[in-house]
Amino acid sequence: MLTAVRGIYENEQVILDEPLPTQHAKVIVTIIEEKAILKKRPLGTMKGTIWMSDDFNEPLDDLKEYM
């Protein structure tokens, strides 16, 4: 079973945000650099960049023989 616990690495120590659910376990540490964390974009920043053709739901000429 895998369990994820967040924490930070500081002064050559891993400081966990919460205690581990067991006293004995193998551990894998994954380093996530601060610059790798994506920041949330404000809502509406993509507005107007995606559009749909007016005839989107019309049958395609290429498929007439199958209809």
Helix, strand, coil percentages (3-state) for the chain, rounded to 5, are: 15, 10, 75
Percent of the chain having pLDDT more than 90?
4
Q: Is residue 55 assigned to a domain?
A: no
- State the pLDDT at residue 37: 63
Q: Is residue 28 assigned to a domain?
A: yes
The per-residue pLDDT for range 43-59, each reduced to its tens digit, is: 888 888 888 889 888 88
Nearest to 18 by CA among 38, 3, 1, 31: 3
More confident residue, 4 or 63: 4
Q: Supply the pTM of this predicted model.
A: 0.42
Q: Containing domain of residue 20, as a range?
A: 1-34
The span from the CA of 7 to the CA of 31, in Å, is 10
Contact between residue 48 and residue 40 where contact means Cβ atoms under 8 Å apart: no
What is the total count of domains within the chain? Answer: 1
The per-residue pLDDT for range 25-36, each reduced to its tens digit, is: 888 888 887 775
